[in-house]
Amino acid sequence: MRRRDHWKRITALVLSAAMALGVAGCGNGNADSQESGSSSQSEENSSVESSSAEESKEESSSEESSSEEESGSDEGTATNSVGWAADLGDQEWTGDQATLTLISPYSGALAGSTSWWEDEIRKYTGVTFEREDGDKDKFSAILTSGDFTDLIGFEKIDDVVAAAEAGKLINLDDYKEQLPNLYQNPLMDSAMKFWREQRCGGAAEGLYVGPLVVGNNDTTTDIPMVRYDLYEKIGSPKPANLEEYFQMLKDMNDINKTAADGDPCYVIVGWNDWDQPFGGNLLPYYGWFGLSGSLTVVAKGDGSQVASIFDESVPFKEIMKQFNDLYNNGYVHPDSLTMSYGTAKPIFDEGHGIFTYVEWMGGKYNDIHTDETGNMTVWADDFEIYINADSPVGSVQCIGISSDCKDLDAALRFLNWYYSPTAYNLVKNGPEGYLWEYTDDGKQTFTADGIEKYRTNREEIGSGGDLFTAQQFLNAQPYTAYVINPTTGQPLYHEYWDAFYETEKRWGQLEWRRQTGFTRTVDMAVAKGAKTKSTAFSLLPSLDPDLEPVRGALNSAFKSYTWKIATEAKDEAEFEKLWTEFREECDALGQEDVFNWYTEKFEEAQKLAEQYPLKTSWD
Nearest to 112 by CA among 467, 476, 463: 463
Q: Return the minimum-mean-pLDDT range out of 49-58, 82-91, 159-168, 468-477.
A: 49-58
What confidence category does residue 201 fall into, taking pLDDT thresholds of 50, 70 and 90? Answer: low
Say whether pLDDT at 418 is over 60: yes
Q: Note the residue count of the chain.
A: 619
Give residue 9's pLDDT band: very low, low, confident or very high (50, 70, 90).
Answer: very low
Burial class, 267, CB count within 10 angstroms (exposed 0-12 / middle 13-18 / buried 19+): buried
pLDDT band (50, 70, 90) for residue 76:
very low
Question: Which one is predicted more confidently, 16 or 505?
Answer: 505
In CATH terms, 76-217+392-491 corresponds, of 3.30.450.40, 3.40.190.10, 3.40.50.920, 3.30.465.10, to 3.40.190.10
State the pLDDT confidence band at 136, using cuts at 50, 70 and 90: confident
Query: Which amino acid appears at position 519 of this protein?
Result: T
| CA–CA separation, 387 and 389 (whole Å) | 7
Alpha carbon distance 47, 391 (integer Å): 14
Distance CA 28, CA 219 (A): 8
Residue 293, pLDDT score: 63
Q: How confident is the model at residue 6 (pLDDT cuts 50, 70, 90)?
A: very low
Tens of pLDDT, residue by residue over 531-558, are 888 888 778 777 888 988 998 898 888 8
pLDDT at position 183 is 95
Residue 538 CA neighbour count, 13 Å, CB half:
35
What is residue 66's predicted lDDT score, i.e. its pLDDT?
A: 36
DSSP 422: H
Give me the mean pLDDT over the 575-602 stretch: 90
Domain definitions of the chain by residue range:
76-217+392-491
Q: Quick one: pLDDT band at residue 113, thresholds 50, 70, 90?
A: low
CB-CB contact of 26 with 395 (8 Å): yes
Cα 263 to Cα 78, 217, 349: the distances in Å are 47, 41, 13
Q: pLDDT tens across 301-337, in order? A: 777 777 788 888 788 899 899 999 999 999 999 998 8
Per-range mean pLDDT, top range of 124-128, 184-188, 278-282: 124-128
Residue 363 pLDDT level (bands cut at 50, 70, 90)? low
Round to whole Å and give the CA distance between 562 and 323: 10
Kindly report the number of other CB atoms within 10 A of residue 546's CB atom.
9
More confident residue, 107 or 566: 566
Question: Do 28 and 481 meet the contact criterion of CB atoms below 8 Å apart?
Answer: yes
Q: Write down the mean pLDDT value for the chain.
A: 80
Contact 482, 493 (CB under 8 A): yes
